[in-house]
Structure 1
Amino acid sequence: MRHLSNLYARVSGVALATGAMFAGGAVLAQATPASPSAAASSDQSGLQDIVVTAQKRSQNVQDTPLSVTALAGESLAANSITTVQELNRIDPALQIGHASGVVTTFIRGVGNPVTTAGNEASVPVYIDDVYFVRASYPFFSLGSVERVEVLKGPQGTLFGRNASGGVISIYTRDPDTMDREMSGKVGYGNYDTVSAQLYVNQPLAEGIAANLAVDVNRQNDGWGRDINTGLDTYRERHVSLRGKLLFDVAEGTTIKLIGYYQKSYNEQGAYNRAFPGTRAGYPDGLHNGFPMIPGQPSPANPQPTLGFYDTNTNFNLYDRSRGYGGSVRIDQEMGFADFVSITAIRRNKELYYSEGDYSPVDQLRYQLNTLDRQFSQEFQLKSNARSKVKWVLGAFYLNALQGYNPTDINGLGPKLLGVDNVALLGRQRIKSYAGFGQITYPLSPDTNLTGGLRYTVDKIAGLGRTTTTLSAGAAGPDPVDLTSPDFRASKTFKKWTYKGSIDHHFSPDVMMYASYSRGYKAGTFNTLPLDTAPLEPEVVDAYEIGLKTELFDRRLRLNGALFWNDISNPQVQAQRNGLVALVNAGSARTRGAEINATAVVARGLTLTLGATYLDARFRDFRGAPSYCPSPVISNDQCRAILTANGASPELVASVGNFNLNQIFIDASGNRMPYASKLKLSAGASYTIDLGGFGTASFDGSLNYASRFNWDSDNVIKEPAHTFVDAAVSVSPADLPNFSFRFWMKNITGVHNNIAYFAIANNGGYLSAPGAPRTFGGEIGFKF
């Protein structure tokens, strides 16, 4: 009863605040210039409908009782959005990073940045309704996308796994059985970047068609230079292919086969230089246990201050990836209902090659050989379009193998100790079973009640092993392998998740809703190394109230929501022995408001505005990792803390030698990482008829994010930044099959960071830079 009374009080309080928010929001939306909605298009008569499948059925986004941002493929291209990590420039509720070849996703403050294999995102990414356990960025090329849907808040009922913060769903173009098409573009940009996209659609027979999408990008010059090796840094190249074969085999029966392949090399997102404003040191034996290498600076002293895009290492850190996969989807109309089956498989081979000391001293190297395999099966039985009562029943199964096979640690430091290599094997097998259902019942022609329920059983089993290879002569004339006993552990998590909402149409163009939902992210092992029990699951209880409107003869679309998330056992980034790890905090809370507006203000001119206010804090996080000395912890304070925790006198004496020492603090009340308090997205899209010369389009956007904390100790902060992007396109009347486009991103050359990691040794506070000013031109064609 206490839980119900708290729920009533919270939703009531949110409801009272909603009127005030939208009264002010309407004025704001009409008075402030905005950026083009990536999903809405306009014509003389007003805004067009946006159809989404956020509830596993086609539905106008304005009738969907949850906060959804839908982005059409054409609008993504117009705004130069080519990768998933750029979606946060369209939706302010998103915070997306890119580290070690993996996309890290946050919605409304819920998420974590850990990229180790085995950890799954709190905001999962789906492609064509298939869940991707590991969000390796090359799989998410947006070249042939039909639309992207961003579902905010827990989606613990209808979506397959771990959607405790929300979902990003990408839908690629389906084959067209009627018309042939060949379209694409070729482009060239600064940093000697060559890009090309090709899309081909071919009807093969009555009811049968195939398509193929190809995306190629090669950046030959880096954003910066390594001052030790002289090599360019932060380069990238990738190739991705996706093909579909569609069979309308009989009336009411459709079979869709999908296959894809990607290959990539990426130096971006590697945290390999000191966070701007901090200093890194050369290796110090007191911190890493290795003897001094001949020629190594001694005693430990600071490395030189670098340019924003420069590094000082032995080699460029990189992620190299190659993968493939496919799925089979069957849609069958059964009269009383529609049946859907989705079967998917995916394999990816990945190597992350990294420094261990982040300096020109060749002391330590890591080679992370990633395991990434998955199989999934989903069945859905759902009401047909004619049914007044909308319902869906389903079952989901996932079998995935994640981890490292193995992580190799070597270099001159171990060699001087008589060790050729240390191999850390860490494998996690995931088996997930779930049954779910959701029903929407019309209480009246204008009011609907929705309830959903899901039961999930997650079984995880871990295997860890360490093999140390002694050098020849260390224990005999030949190298010797010393292998630890296997560490084996398993655990089963069982969880009910659910949803309830009510929505009411005050008129055909004004709808209000209120909802409560629970999301769940399964417990997981730390796989680097795998030698301890798994973490506890993360559970999110979410309360939301929202309003969706279309005003002034559908020339203004104004939507907004207030939200509150209670988080139990949030999974938070930490480190163990210099390697990335996860820990459970006690509890956290995020709350805030968001508003999105789209307006047709003149013929061909569309303006939009998005804004999110977020207050995200830990309620209970005792024993949170922190590092000293730091900008807020003095050397004397650090020495006192280390002494109180039994550190050796030598280690205490080394404080101040440009090395970080891990300590533990009470972070209760601290702000959560990756959670800007205020984010804005604004801009404009204008298309003009040039008479007999053709048409021209102008697209521009401005995106602001206030500062945020990179870690739970709130020591290192990312400064506030504003990005300005723009593009101009021309379609000549004399060349109806061609278009010409010039684009520029980050026009003002803002410096920002996209990844961060504090390491308890000489590396210090590490980070990876975001893209500098980039620009280029492209020629598009369509036949």
Structure 2
Amino acid sequence: MSHMFQLQHRRGFRAALLSCAALAGVTSVAPALAQNVGLEDIVVTAQKRAENVQDTPLSVTAISGEKLAAQGIGTVQELNRVDPALQIGQSTGTVTTFIRGIGNPVTTAGNEASVPVYIDDVYFVRAAFPFFDLASISRVEVLKGPQGTLFGRNASGGVISIYTRDPEFTPAMEARLGYGNFQTMDGKFYGNLPISDTLAANISVSYHNQDQGWGRNKRLVDPLDTSKGYKPGGEDYWKGRSFSTRGKILWEPTDTLSLKLIGYYEKSHSEIGIYSRPFPGTVGGTPDGAHNGFANLPGVFPIPSQVLPPLGFYDVPLGDTQKMYDASEGYGFSGRVDYEMGFADIVSITAYRKADELYASAGNYSPYNWARYDLNVIDKQISQEFQLKSKASSKVNWIAGLYYLNADGGFNPTTIYGPAVEGLGIRQIDIIGKQKVISHAAFGQLTYPVTETTNITLGARYTIDKVRGDGQTNVTFLPGVFGPGAVTLNTQKFDATNDFGGARGLTIVNGVNPDHEKKFKKFTFKGTIDQKLGEDAMVYANISRGYKAGTFNTLPLDNAALQPEVIDAYEVGIKSELFDRLVRLNVALFWNDISNPQVQAQRNGLVFLTNAGSARTRGAEFDLTVAPAQGLTLRLAGSYLDARFRDFQGCPTYAYSTTAPGNLDQLVTNCSGNRMPYASKWKGTAAVNYTHEVDGTGTFDFDASVNYSSKFNWDADNLIKEPVRILVDGAIGFTPASLEHVTLRAWVKNLTNRKYNLNYYAQASGSAFSSAPGAPRTYGGELVFKF
């Protein structure tokens, strides 16, 4: 039955691709039916200079802020709906980004993604989702494949670049007020004000509040007998709220000098995306002290443990005291200077960012007051980049630059408390794990026209990364254990002068710790040749190397840093515009060899990274856009991906305990040959946009999209799989002729109410195989004012 189900979905997807392609082909060969029809140019800065995306010899997906708003895409997590190469999840306050199967889902502070996110050319070390509210967006660019030359910092899988709107010298204002189901309120404001002939400023504000949850927080009828099930009702769960604002000042005192200052702030509190319930089809269990090293509590929960009753898809079993959430507050500043000299242009980008974040987690995803984890996240960075690049009119395009990053990440501290540790005579356990990264890099790239139609691009970057780890664990005992008052003992230390400790980790060993500090040096490169095939077509081939620096595990910090992840990538592609620019078709084939991939594992109930031996991803992508008639645009994009571990021995896996029902034991297996996590074999997007003006009435806008993902594995052991996912979204807007500055818009997401998961985490305890759901069907209306 399962095989037939998968086969039907695969055939259905391929049929949809062929049908849409056929439709596009039929419509595109009839240009006589369309007047003033054609696809607009898309300008990107994927190579640190403005150019048409069709002239850029690498795979890039770019979408404007207007189109994002029309499709209802308001967060970076939803960008996988516009690019099949992307796989984006949300977990513990961050977004987890994958491109072409490359990435890692670990969200421990200090770890950096293999697919970084940039905002206004500033790299964000921790991809905390509240910073990525897509308000006042100019465009988003998704660069696929290693970008180890121009972007460099950990861009081993690709880059997501977000560009917000710059101030302009024309007044403008836009406001959006919306309301949706689950008592969801949204408000967005953008204002632009020219102050003088040389000075302008803008500001954007975004507010979101979902006050009703998708599911219920359930309580047991009898805490000592789970077979009696849950009580009816329960509080709403899966709610969230956020506020963010961003301002820019642009000063152009001369024709050759431009200064831009940016400031931003965010605050959020959310339950969405936090693993809080068993993965659908699996079960969790009541607490078992042996699986966490904590105390059992007779009379509070059953001993031995019992399996928890099954839940509804959107329900959680957390009771009154185990609620989980992520709360953050952060801000940042950046400044950019562009100066045009006689022979070249200079760019300087300076940035600072800091965030305070609390991830409040339960020690067991069950209704018992047992253990609590408060993870206090460290997240601070300073960066500086200098660029010297050729003039836009130069025959030979070149750029050279320097980059510096100073970043602090980790936990200070992770506090474990509650009856589970009090039963051992302990008031609390504080785990401190901090990492400092200092990175220096020099880079350059040159594009030389061999002929009028042939270009060769060569690029290189040399990076020196210095990572330092400092960690310790403090145990505070209850009064009466070692004396009349509370006593705190340091039971573990990991820094420049101390090792992990004795055989049981209970003593400080003085001396030099050689693993406390590591330095990594890496040369990355890129070579590309592109050949024009007339004015509207180009073929290209490139080879490049990506690099993700070695990193410490910060929860806890007691081991040497991981080895860097290195990717050697090969890509060939064609970019074309056909039938007098009525059709745009881009195709790419790729192959990535990965050494020491950094993948998720688990130890003592805590998430951390480990190195696999090697892996390989390969596949194909296409992106077809057609403008068959006035106001009508059709888009079809798809990808095929084969992503596997070549060598991964000592791979963690899990099995249900034979002595503690509902709890997991951690085991070790060989994952060589397994498919990589978050890597759907087939993905596709089909979208339509239609704008039609009715004389004397107004303008109608219609947007609809279908997004398909075949099943994928959540972890390297290929044990738990996400089923086939099909999401259908749509929106209709109307702008009255008599009120041309006002638009009424109705929208729906996940029209078919598809059940899917945002993330996954296996934990050797009663938390077991845990996950968080994606949004069910949501819908609402919006009032838009533009002046």
Question: Which of structure 1's runs of 4+ aligned residues deviate more than 4 A?
Answer: 24-29
What CA distance in whole angstroms lies between the structure 1 residues aligned with 2:372 and 2:269? 18
**What are the ranges of 5 or more consecutive residues in structure 2 without an aligned counterpart?**
1-14, 26-33, 220-232, 496-515
1:656-693, CA deviations, whole angstroms, 9 ceiling, x for partnerless residues? x2211111111000000000000000021111111101
* Residues 1:673 and 2:680 are matched in the alignment: no
What CA distance in whole angstroms lies between the structure 2 residues aligned with 1:32 and 1:298? 63
Match of 1:297 in 2: 302
Match of 1:648 in 2: none
**Amino acid paired to 2:641:** L
Post-superposition offset of 1:315: 3.2
**Amino acid paired to 1:60:** N
Post-superposition offset of 1:26: 11
* Residues 1:583 and 2:638 are matched in the alignment: no
**Amino acid paired to 2:410:** G
Contact 2:322 2:365 in 1 (8 A): no
Give the counterpart of 1:690 among 691, 694, 698.
694
1:246-298, CA deviations, whole angstroms, 9 ceiling, x for partnerless residues? 00011210000000000000101101100000010101123223332232122
What CA distance in whole angstroms lies between the structure 2 residues aligned with 1:552 and 1:309? 49
**Amino acid paired to 1:367:** D
Match of 1:166 in 2: 158
What CA distance in whole angstroms lies between the structure 2 residues aligned with 1:115 and 1:347? 17
1:70-90, CA deviations, whole angstroms, 9 ceiling, x for partnerless residues? 010000011110000000010
Contact 1:131 1:160 in 2 (8 A): no
What CA distance in whole angstroms lies between the structure 1 residues aligned with 2:428 and 2:17? 63
Contact 2:664 2:764 in 1 (8 A): yes
Length-normalised TM-score, structure 2: 0.91
**Amino acid paired to 2:599:** V
Match of 1:771 in 2: 775
Give the counterpart of 1:663 among 661, 667, 680.
667
Match of 1:191 in 2: 182
1:371–1:476: structure 2 CA closer, same or farther, 3 Å change rule? Answer: same
Match of 2:710 in 1: 706
Contact 1:286 1:654 in 2 (8 A): no
1:334-383, CA deviations, whole angstroms, 9 ceiling, x for partnerless residues? 11100000000000000000001111111111000000000000000000
Post-superposition offset of 1:528: 0.4
Match of 1:571 in 2: 598
Match of 1:234 in 2: 238
Give the counterpart of 2:347 among 340, 345, 368.
340
Is the partner of 2:21 in helix, strand or coil? helix
1:477-506, CA deviations, whole angstroms, 9 ceiling, x for partnerless residues? 111101135312000000000000000001
What CA distance in whole angstroms lies between the structure 1 residues aligned with 2:362 and 2:690? 48
What CA distance in whole angstroms lies between the structure 1 residues aligned with 2:163 and 2:624? 24
1:180-226, CA deviations, whole angstroms, 9 ceiling, x for partnerless residues? 11111100000000110000100111110000000000110011110
1:291-312, CA deviations, whole angstroms, 9 ceiling, x for partnerless residues? 3223212221111101111111
* Residues 1:65 and 2:69 are matched in the alignment: no
Is the partner of 1:311 in helix, strand or coil? coil
What CA distance in whole angstroms lies between the structure 1 residues aligned with 2:87 and 2:581? 30
Is the partner of 2:195 in helix, strand or coil? strand
Contact 2:37 2:629 in 1 (8 A): no
1:473-552 paired onto structure 2 within 5 Å: 473-488=480-495, 489-552=516-579
Give the counterpart of 1:363 among 344, 348, 370.
370
Is the partner of 2:411 in helix, strand or coil? strand
* Residues 1:463 and 2:470 are matched in the alignment: yes
Contact 1:160 1:396 in 2 (8 A): no
Match of 1:44 in 2: 36
* Residues 1:86 and 2:78 are matched in the alignment: yes
Match of 2:741 in 1: 737
Is the partner of 2:66 in helix, strand or coil? helix
What CA distance in whole angstroms lies between the structure 2 residues aligned with 1:338 and 1:87? 33
* Residues 1:611 and 2:599 are matched in the alignment: no
What CA distance in whole angstroms lies between the structure 2 residues aligned with 1:711 and 1:79? 31
* Residues 1:244 and 2:248 are matched in the alignment: yes
1:115-173, CA deviations, whole angstroms, 9 ceiling, x for partnerless residues? 00010000000000000000000101111000000000000000040000000000000
1:429-479, CA deviations, whole angstroms, 9 ceiling, x for partnerless residues? 000000000000000000000000000000000000100000111111111
1:117–1:491: structure 2 CA closer, same or farther, 3 Å change rule? Answer: same
Match of 1:110 in 2: 102
Contact 2:306 2:662 in 1 (8 A): yes
Is the partner of 1:757 in helix, strand or coil? strand
**Amino acid paired to 2:624:** A
What CA distance in whole angstroms lies between the structure 2 residues aligned with 1:596 and 1:700? 17
1:680-708, CA deviations, whole angstroms, 9 ceiling, x for partnerless residues? 00021111111101100110000000000
Contact 2:37 2:628 in 1 (8 A): no
1:269-418 paired onto structure 2 within 5 Å: 269-293=273-297, 294-313=299-318, 314-418=321-425
Post-superposition offset of 1:28: 7.0
**Amino acid paired to 2:729:** D
**What are the ranges of 5 or more consecutive residues in structure 1 without an aligned counterpart?**
1-23, 35-41, 630-651
What CA distance in whole angstroms lies between the structure 2 residues aligned with 1:213 and 1:284? 49
1:223-252, CA deviations, whole angstroms, 9 ceiling, x for partnerless residues? 111012932111110000000000001121
What CA distance in whole angstroms lies between the structure 1 residues aligned with 2:560 and 2:293? 26
Is the partner of 2:127 in helix, strand or coil? coil
Contact 1:44 1:604 in 2 (8 A): no
Is the partner of 2:558 in helix, strand or coil? coil
**Amino acid paired to 2:274:** A
Contact 1:591 1:614 in 2 (8 A): yes
Is the partner of 1:46 in helix, strand or coil? coil
Contact 1:536 1:584 in 2 (8 A): yes
1:210–1:95: structure 2 CA closer, same or farther, 3 Å change rule? Answer: same
**Amino acid paired to 1:667:** C
Is the partner of 1:286 in helix, strand or coil? helix
What CA distance in whole angstroms lies between the structure 2 residues aligned with 1:452 and 1:425? 40
* Residues 1:782 and 2:774 are matched in the alignment: no
**Amino acid paired to 1:393:** A
**Amino acid paired to 1:233:** Y
Match of 1:96 in 2: 88
Contact 1:594 1:613 in 2 (8 A): yes
1:746–1:324: structure 2 CA closer, same or farther, 3 Å change rule? Answer: same
**Amino acid paired to 1:691:** D
Contact 1:107 1:152 in 2 (8 A): yes
Moved more, 343-352 or 600-609: 600-609
Contact 1:29 1:597 in 2 (8 A): no
Is the partner of 1:135 in helix, strand or coil? coil
What CA distance in whole angstroms lies between the structure 1 residues aligned with 2:691 and 2:35? 10
Length-normalised TM-score, structure 1: 0.92
1:412-427 paired onto structure 2 within 5 Å: 412-427=419-434
Q: How many residues align?
A: 729
1:252–1:749: structure 2 CA closer, same or farther, 3 Å change rule? Answer: same
Contact 1:336 1:383 in 2 (8 A): yes
Contact 2:322 2:366 in 1 (8 A): no
Is the partner of 1:741 in helix, strand or coil? strand
Post-superposition offset of 1:768: 0.6
* Residues 1:147 and 2:151 are matched in the alignment: no
| Root mean square deviation of aligned Cα | 1.5
Give the counterpart of 2:761 among 744, 757, 761.
757
1:81–1:368: structure 2 CA closer, same or farther, 3 Å change rule? Answer: same
Contact 2:152 2:461 in 1 (8 A): no
Is the partner of 1:486 in helix, strand or coil? strand
Match of 1:632 in 2: none
